[in-house]
């Protein structure tokens, strides 16, 4: 039967940690310690990637790269990447449990779709040891997908490679990529979905791409909210998303629409 069988959710910024703040603050801190002042925008740019890849991507940004050369008199090298990562991991681990609250609407949405027989997998830019903290804390707060895959399970080939999605599909026995929906809050999530050949969906409110915490978002005027939502949606679509949703609460309705498209023989990529 041509229907969606499973959903693969990202973690921070999608299922838990509204605004995806746990890693961002640590990226800013470790670069500051190295004498390089990075912006929040630069720290968020590669979000969703395996964290050591994220550091490498930040160092490769022209402005950051130039600052590094000014300070150290040379280009960054792999040893610099590893040194920054060695500082990043324990700093993140120390605060990670504080950033595991499920985003509003996620638990109810997962329960509703599970009641219809859908399975829930997950992918992340966190390592397995980081995810032990996130998974156990999120479970206590009511959120627990059926399966968790990290880049450690795919030989460190994280996003935008599609392999974490394929591992989920294998474990959950999902029969075809076009019967799978991937939901995430970063451009690397979107690319992961596109490259896996699944329906790729960007979730907007609470996303790393929008970059606001709950309080900041709630304090916006209606027109400011509309502008922030529109800008974030545009970014996701430019990177290949099939669809965007404002919140996870809209996912059941979207899946219903996708099922209608599948009945007409349409596949991922046709909505763009």
With CA atoms as reference, report the closest residue to 14 among 156, 155, 183, 171: 183
Is 263 annotated to bind ligand? Answer: no
End position of a domain, from candidates 73, 98, 123: 98
Catalytic residue among 10, 17, 53, 189: 10
SS3 (DSSP) at 4: coil
And the tokens for 132? 């032990």
Together in a domain, 124 and 241: yes
Whether 268 maps to a domain, the answer reads no
Segment 113-162, tens digit of pLDDT: 999 999 999 999 999 999 999 999 999 999 999 999 999 999 999 999 99
pLDDT band for 253, please (50, 70, 90 cuts): very high
Whether 271 maps to a domain, the answer reads no
Together in a domain, 121 and 41: no
End position of a domain, from candidates 42, 68, 98: 98
What is the C-alpha to C-alpha distance for residues 218 and 214, in angstroms, rounded to an integer?
A: 6
Q: Specify the CATH number for the domain of residue 152.
A: 3.40.50.1000
Whether 120 maps to a domain, the answer reads yes
Catalytic residue among 51, 119, 179, 191: 51
**Res. 39: pLDDT tops 80:** yes
pLDDT band for 271, please (50, 70, 90 cuts): low
Together in a domain, 105 and 79: no
Is 189 annotated to bind ligand? Answer: no
Q: Specify the CATH number for the domain of residue 91.
A: 1.10.150.240
Active site residue 51: yes
Together in a domain, 259 and 168: yes
Query: Domain total for the chain?
Result: 2
Together in a domain, 119 and 219: yes
What is the C-alpha to C-alpha distance for residues 181 and 193, in angstroms, rounded to an integer?
A: 8
**Res. 81: pLDDT tops 90:** yes
Together in a domain, 199 and 255: yes
Together in a domain, 26 and 76: yes
Q: Could you tell me the residue range of the domain that residue 244 belongs to?
A: 6-20+101-263
What is the C-alpha to C-alpha distance for residues 210 and 24, in angstroms, rounded to an integer?
A: 13
pTM confidence score: 0.94
Together in a domain, 14 and 50: no
pLDDT band for 169, please (50, 70, 90 cuts): very high
What is the C-alpha to C-alpha distance for residues 162 and 195, in angstroms, rounded to an integer?
A: 6
Together in a domain, 138 and 244: yes
What is the C-alpha to C-alpha distance for residues 172 and 4, in angstroms, rounded to an integer?
A: 13
Segment 206-247, tens digit of pLDDT: 999 999 999 999 999 999 999 999 999 999 999 999 999 999
Active site residue 272: no
Together in a domain, 128 and 243: yes
Kindly state the DSSP code that residue 60 receives in the 8-state scheme. Answer: H
End position of a domain, from candidates 64, 98, 132: 98
Whether 11 maps to a domain, the answer reads yes
Count of C-beta atoms within a 10 Å radius of residue 129: 12
What is the C-alpha to C-alpha distance for residues 240 and 243, in angstroms, rounded to an integer?
A: 9
And the tokens for 38? 């990075």
Together in a domain, 34 and 158: no
Together in a domain, 38 and 167: no
CB 179 within 8 A of CB 4: yes
**Res. 98: pLDDT tops 70:** yes
With CA atoms as reference, report the closest residue to 137 among 91, 168, 96: 96
**Where does the chain have alpha helices with state H?**
22-33, 40-44, 51-60, 62-72, 78-95, 106-115, 128-140, 163-172, 187-196, 214-218, 222-238, 251-263
What is the C-alpha to C-alpha distance for residues 235 and 2, in angstroms, rounded to an integer?
A: 30
């Amino acid at each position: 039967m041509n229907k969606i069988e499973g959903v693969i959710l990202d973690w921070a910024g999608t299922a838990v940690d509204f605004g995806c703040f746990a890693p961002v603050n640590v990226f800013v801190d470790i670069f500051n310690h190295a004498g390089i002042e990075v912006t929040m925008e630069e720290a968020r740019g590669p979000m969703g990637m395996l964290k050591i890849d994220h550091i490498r991507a930040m160092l490769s940004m022209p402005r950051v790269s130039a600052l590094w050369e000014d300070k150290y008199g040379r280009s960054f090298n792999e040893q610099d990447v590893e040194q920054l990562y060695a500082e990043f991991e324990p700093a993140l681990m120390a605060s990670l449990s504080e950033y595991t609250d499920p985003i509003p609407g996620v638990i109810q949405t997962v329960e509703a779709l599970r009641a219809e027989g859908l399975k829930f997998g997950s992918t992340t830019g966190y390592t397995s040891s980081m995810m032990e903290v996130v998974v156990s804390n999120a479970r206590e707060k009511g959120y627990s997908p059926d399966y968790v895959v990290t880049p450690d399970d795919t030989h460190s080939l994280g996003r935008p490679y599609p392999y974490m999605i394929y591992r989920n599909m294998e474990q959950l026995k999902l029969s075809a990529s076009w019967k799978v929906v991937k939901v995430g809050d970063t451009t690397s999530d979107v690319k992961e979905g596109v490259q896996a050949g699944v329906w790729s969906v960007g979730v907007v409110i609470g996303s790393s791409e929008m970059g606001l915490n709950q309080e900041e978002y709630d304090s916006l005027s209606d027109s400011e909210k509309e502008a922030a939502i529109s800008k974030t949606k545009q970014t996701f679509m430019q990177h290949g998303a099939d669809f965007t949703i404002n919140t996870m609460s809209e996912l059941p309705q979207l899946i219903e629409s996708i099922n209608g498209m599948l009945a007409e023989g349409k596949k991922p990529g046709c909505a763009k």
